[in-house]
Amino acid sequence: MAGSQASTPAPRRLRVLLSAYACEPGVGSEGGIGWNWTREVARRNDCVLVTRKNNVEAIRAAAQREDLERLEVVGHDLPMWMRFWKRGGRGAMAYFYLWQLSLARVARRLDRERDFDLVQHVTFASSWIPSGLAFVNKPFVWGPVGQHPRIPKPFLVDAPLAARLAESAKAAVKRLCLTVDPFLRHTMRRARRVLSLGSEFEDSSTLPKSARVERLHACGVDALAPGVKSGGHVLFSGRLVRLKGPELALEAFATAHAKHTGARLTFLGEGPLETQLRQRAEALGITGAVTFAGKLPLHDALAQMGAADIFLFPSFEGAGMVVPEAMATGAVVLCLDFGGPGDMVAEGRGLAVPVGATKAQACANLAAGLDELLGDPMRCAQLRSGAEDWIRSDMLWSQKGARLQGIYEAVMAETCGEAA
């Protein structure tokens, strides 16, 4: 027809193989991240997902609810004789390592049957463990991956000997894997793109010089959902373990509470430090201002975040996956300028304070941050606005899915160019 314009052809759906060891709809942390990335990939491509067998039923039900007709789920586990020793979190990373090695055979078989265009490792986000998908002869995207920085030694001085030994052992294992593991080196060499969680991994010397690295946070949110604030409500959410810094949160809050007596602190999460934290709160005389709410379902945890004015998260981790969730509910994030959380609150999106050389200095810096935020509603409003702008521009799952698709298309164009 005269004057008509040709329509732009729809992008070709790629055949993508994903591995997401942790993948579960309706939960937080790694499981929720695995599901959200899978969902975004399956909305745009023909997708086969390999995950643990105990995740399959829930994923298939969620895929049906969301009309993800082109998503196929394959359950994979090690044989019983190779996993009888795994109990909950005990031996989880050793099992994950073996699972990845065994995945190579499964992934190659699936590729022979489906002839994938591209493969991607999604979870766990551990940059010191190889991916079985690196052994498939197709363009390989690794990540998002990263690594936890080591907890500084001054912050472990008062920890039990067993905790200090465990931290040293974990650091030694990671260092060993990063330097001598041939399967990990193969993973790094084969990756067409390394999707990085943050600066800790990018600034390390572990990646080959030829690696093409792009920053892409593993976590995201579906929408902004600011809650109603009541004033003076401080929230900590995470496992009660030293990596997350809950004891720093308690000490800092106690100092700030002396001036802001109406403030209250809620701990969401469970872990081995809970008894110690309860005892310390009693010794500090603030038990009436501190609540231990335990581990809550994701919906209830988000409701708690929505009611919080300040999200206090002095974590030493490399990802900080809960931080965008807190930002999306309108809680102002206060953290240490360290690891993933410090990266996320940069540029006026929250408040990151110096770690300091000692635990006492870190607590004092966090307490000063609390004092500033509890006493200055205008400052909180500015930081909240900066966080909301970042969520809108970078952290909505729909946008992250579109960006990942762009990475796929760039990788495929490079591959076609090399083959020409």
310 closest CA partner among 258, 220, 218, 387: 387
Both 180 and 70 in a single domain? yes
CATH of the domain at 206: 3.40.50.2000
Phi first, then psi, for residue 213 (nearest 5°) are: -110, 135
In a domain, 285, yes or no: yes
Strand order in the sheet with 71-75: 71-75, 46-51, 15-20, 118-123, 140-145, 191-196, 213-215
CA 300 vs. chain centroid, Å, equals 19
pLDDT at residue 341 in the model? 85
Question: For the segment 370-405, what is each residue's pLDDT rounded down to a tens digit?
Answer: 999 999 999 999 999 999 999 999 999 999 999 999
Query: pLDDT tens across 253-294, in order?
Result: 999 999 999 999 999 999 999 999 999 999 999 999 999 999
Show the domain range for 307.
233-395
pLDDT at 200: 64
Instruction: Give domain status of residue 226, yes or no.
Output: no
State residue 309 phi and psi, 5-degree precision: -85, -40
Condensed to tens digits (0 to 9), the pLDDT of residues 105-130 reads 999 999 999 999 999 999 887 888 89
Number of folded domains in the chain? 2
Question: Of the given ranges (162-176, 221-235, 315-329), which has the lowest mean pLDDT?
Answer: 162-176
Q: Distance between CA 279 and CA 127 in Å, rounded?
A: 37
- My answer on whether 341 and 205 are in the same domain is no
pLDDT at 79: 80
Residues 289 and 212: beta-carbon distance below 8 Å: no
Q: 176 in a domain, yes or no?
A: yes
d(CA 158, CA 168): 15
Q: Mark whether 27 and 174 lie in a shared domain.
A: yes
Report the length, in residues, of the chain: 420
Residue carrying the six token digits 């070709």? 12
Confidence at residue 197, expressed as pLDDT on a 0 to 100 scale: 79
Determine contact, residues 263/242, Cβ cutoff 8 Å. no
293 Cβ partners below 8 Å, 6+ apart? 266, 267, 268, 304
Establish if 370 belongs to a structural domain. yes
pTM of the model: 0.84
Q: Are residues 182 and 205 in the same domain?
A: yes
Confidence at residue 171, expressed as pLDDT on a 0 to 100 scale: 66
- State how far the Cα of 168 lies from the Cα of 148, in Å rounded to an integer: 13
Instruction: Please give the residue that has the higher pLDDT: either 282 or 83.
Output: 282
> Residue 74's pLDDT is what?
96
Do 324 and 186 fall within a single domain?
Answer: no
Q: Based on the domain organization, do 200 and 120 belong to the same domain? A: yes
**Residue 225: inside a domain, yes or no?**
no
- 93 vs 241 pLDDT, higher one: 241
Reported as a pLDDT band with limits 50, 70 and 90, residue 204 is low
Per-residue pLDDT at 1: 46
141 pLDDT band, cuts 50/70/90, is: very high
Same domain, 109 and 237: no
